[in-house]
């Protein structure tokens, strides 16, 4: 090792230089803190030793000056005092280790061992810092790739949605056109998740309050007309869900809101649909979609194709849950509770 030894005692400096030199170490010495700091700036040392008791700039002052210059070389603190407060102060100030100065060669052996430990610890710290930096760089790269993937998926889904809309406009069959409209809304619900992901700093989970706000705004624009105005009100707490859960929940909200807008109120009348998303006890969330319309006959056949109901069941199953209907509510109130 290349060692810088800072001590005002010339005899100790010569002893350390001679004994460590015999062990193939290169030892450079300094007789004061000021001289030691200057040498540390100029030389490339593996380890630095600093004596505590020195006139003028003592050991702690020297240690502070070394740290202030940005020198990352590990420091071993040397003192003739066995007071624990001196050692604690040195360690708190950034020393890797300390050695109590004793007469004879034992002190130099302890010093060499401390040097080896300090150099090894410093090397491990550098390797860890390099590994952390490499990991961060890799993670940042993956985040960028995921964001780009979500961007491309959202764009592709938007193209599919546009194609479905164009196809629907070419159809003369009202039921077929309505079915394609439902398909388009389902695609848009999924695309909205990916838009949230690529526009956010977090690419593995979705802020549900923001996502539901955008989704409800799209549904409001779709279903509210001058002839049959629909007011879709949203109350959503800030809660993040994994992408898969967000997609399932988005499809469920789209189906429930669309059903309420289509079937809850008579044609040509106004109506309100309320969407509530909130935290529930035990790391869970609860979704409720309700209206004040004509209600639902559980024994009546589906008013549409029945695909929407099947989708709701399938998406709820993906959340390890089920949608339950409040029979005491005047209109229709659908509730789902699942783990977040």
> How do residues 270-293 score in pLDDT, each as one tens digit?
999 999 999 999 999 999 999 999
Last residue of a domain, one of 132, 154, 178: 132
- Taking 70 as the threshold, does the pLDDT of residue 304 lie above it? no
Domain count, the chain: 2
Work out the pLDDT band at 302, boundaries 50, 70, 90: low
Q: Are residues 333 and 213 in the same domain?
A: yes
Q: How far apart are CA 39 and CA 267, in angstroms?
A: 89
Evaluate whether residue 140 is within a structural domain. no
Evaluate whether residue 168 is within a structural domain. no
The predicted model scores a pTM of: 0.59
Structure tokens at 138: 């890799």
Tokens 């859960």 -> residue: 245
Res 105: pLDDT:
60
Q: Are residues 124 and 229 in the same domain?
A: no
CATH, residue 70 = 3.40.50.2300
Evaluate whether residue 185 is within a structural domain. no
Please give the helix or strand (H or E) that residue 19 lies within, else none.
helix 10-21
Give mean pLDDT, residues 84-103.
Answer: 83
Collapsed DSSP state (helix, strand, coil) of residue 198:
helix
Which residue range forms the structural domain that includes residue 308?
204-340
CATH, residue 259 = 3.30.565.10
Task: Supply the DSSP symbol for 320.
Answer: T
Evaluate whether residue 105 is within a structural domain. yes
Evaluate whether residue 94 is within a structural domain. yes
What average pLDDT is seen over the chain?
88
DSSP string, 292-313: -SS---TTSPPSS-SHHHHHHH
CA 88 to chain centre: 36
Residue from 249, 252, 277, 274 nearest 264 by CA: 274
Q: Are residues 87 and 7 in the same domain?
A: yes
Last residue of a domain, one of 132, 148, 169: 132
Work out the pLDDT band at 79, boundaries 50, 70, 90: confident
Query: Whats the size of the chain, residue-wise?
Result: 340
Q: Are residues 221 and 336 in the same domain?
A: yes
CA 37 to chain centre: 41
Last residue of a domain, one of 80, 97, 132: 132
């Amino acid at each position: 090792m290349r060692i810088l030894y800072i001590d005002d005692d010339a005899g100790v400096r010569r002893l350390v230089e001679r004994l460590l030199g015999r062990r193939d170490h290169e030892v450079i010495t300094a007789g004061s803190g000021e001289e030691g700091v200057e040498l540390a700036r100029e030389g490339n040392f593996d380890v630095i030793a600093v004596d505590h008791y020195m006139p003028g700039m003592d050991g702690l002052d020297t240690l502070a000056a070394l740290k202030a210059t940005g020198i990352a070389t590990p420091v071993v603190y040397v003192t003739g005092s066995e007071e624990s407060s001196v050692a604690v102060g040195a360690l708190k100030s950034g020393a890797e280790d300390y050695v109590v100065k004793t007469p004879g060669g034992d002190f130099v052996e302890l010093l060499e061992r401390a040097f080896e430990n300090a150099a090894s610890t410093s090397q491990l710290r550098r390797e860890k810092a390099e590994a952390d930096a490499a990991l961060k760089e890799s993670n940042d790269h993956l985040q960028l790739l995921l964001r780009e993937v979500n961007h491309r998926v959202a764009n592709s889904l938007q193209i599919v949605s546009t194609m479905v809309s164009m196809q629907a406009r070419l159809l003369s069959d009202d039921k077929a056109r309505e079915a394609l409209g439902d398909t388009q809304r389902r695609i848009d619900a999924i695309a909205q998740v990916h838009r949230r992901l690529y526009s956010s700093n977090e690419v593995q989970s979705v802020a549900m309050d923001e996502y539901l706000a955008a989704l409800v705004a799209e549904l409001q624009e779709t279903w509210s007309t001058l002839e049959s105005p629909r007011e879709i009100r949203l109350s959503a707490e800030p809660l993040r869900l994994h992408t898969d859960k967000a997609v399932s929940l988005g499809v469920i909200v789209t189906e429930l809101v669309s059903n309420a807008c289509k079937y809850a109120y008579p044609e040509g009348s106004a109506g309100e649909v309320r969407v509530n998303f909130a935290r529930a006890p035990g790391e869970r969330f609860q979704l409720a979609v309700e209206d004040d319309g004509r209600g639902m006959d559980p024994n009546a056949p589906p008013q549409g194709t029945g695909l929407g109901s099947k989708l709701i069941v399938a998406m709820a199953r993906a959340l390890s849950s089920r949608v339950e209907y409040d029979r005491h509510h005047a209109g229709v109130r659908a509730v789902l509770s699942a783990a977040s």
